[in-house]
Structures are given as structure tokens and as C-alpha cells.
Amino acid sequence: MADVYRALDDETRRLILDELSARDGQSLFQLCTVLTTRHGVRSTRQAISQHLAVLEDAGLVTSERRGRTKLHFFHPGPLEAITRRWPTTRRDAT
């Protein structure tokens, strides 16, 4: 669970998750382009690749090769584990 919190601690990684959540199955090039054009992120491809590795280590992103292209997919499972641990609905203390 600590890996998930560490992964979410960075704004660029949260933006990557936002973009993959909106449109799954993006390549590194596509992610770099959208981060630059929509969010003004000026990170190198290598830096974005390292962010993706952190997200993969935390189980939030998976990747698969299709030909020469590596596509990245959002995996919400670890976030669901957090919400199960701390439910967002209040229980009455009656």
C-alpha cells in the first residue's frame, strides 16, 4: 500500500493516471504529447517513462506491447483497496 501512496504523491503521476483514466491504452509518445499540450508538463520522455515505472510498481498501471509500441493501461484495483479500508460513507454512531 505504501507504493500506492508514493506513486500518488507526485502531480505528474496523478496527471498520467487522469489521462489514462480518460483514454486507456496510450503510448509513451501519446502521453508525453497530451501532458505537454493540456497540462504544460515539460518533462522528458525518459522522465515520463520513469513515472510510468513507479505507477507500474504500485500496480496502478499495466503495459503491453503491440508490435513496436508499448501501450499503458490504468488499473484502479489498488485505489479500490484504499476505499475499502476507509469507506467514504459515514456510519451513524448510534
What is the residue range of 76's domain?
2-85
Q: Is residue 27 part of a domain?
A: yes
pLDDT tens readout for residues 22-46: 999 999 999 999 999 999 999 999 9
Using a pLDDT cut of 90, give the percent of the chain over it: 81
Number of domains in the chain: 1
Q: Is residue 6 part of a domain?
A: yes
Q: Is residue 92 part of a domain?
A: no
| Locus of grid cell 508525453 | 32
Q: Is residue 94 part of a domain?
A: no
In this structure, which amino acid lies at residue 32? C
**What does pTM read for this prediction?**
0.87
Q: Is residue 90 part of a domain?
A: no
Over residues 83-87, mean pLDDT: 80
Average pLDDT, the chain: 93
pLDDT tens readout for residues 42-80: 999 999 999 999 999 999 999 999 999 999 999 999 998
In this structure, which amino acid lies at residue 9? D
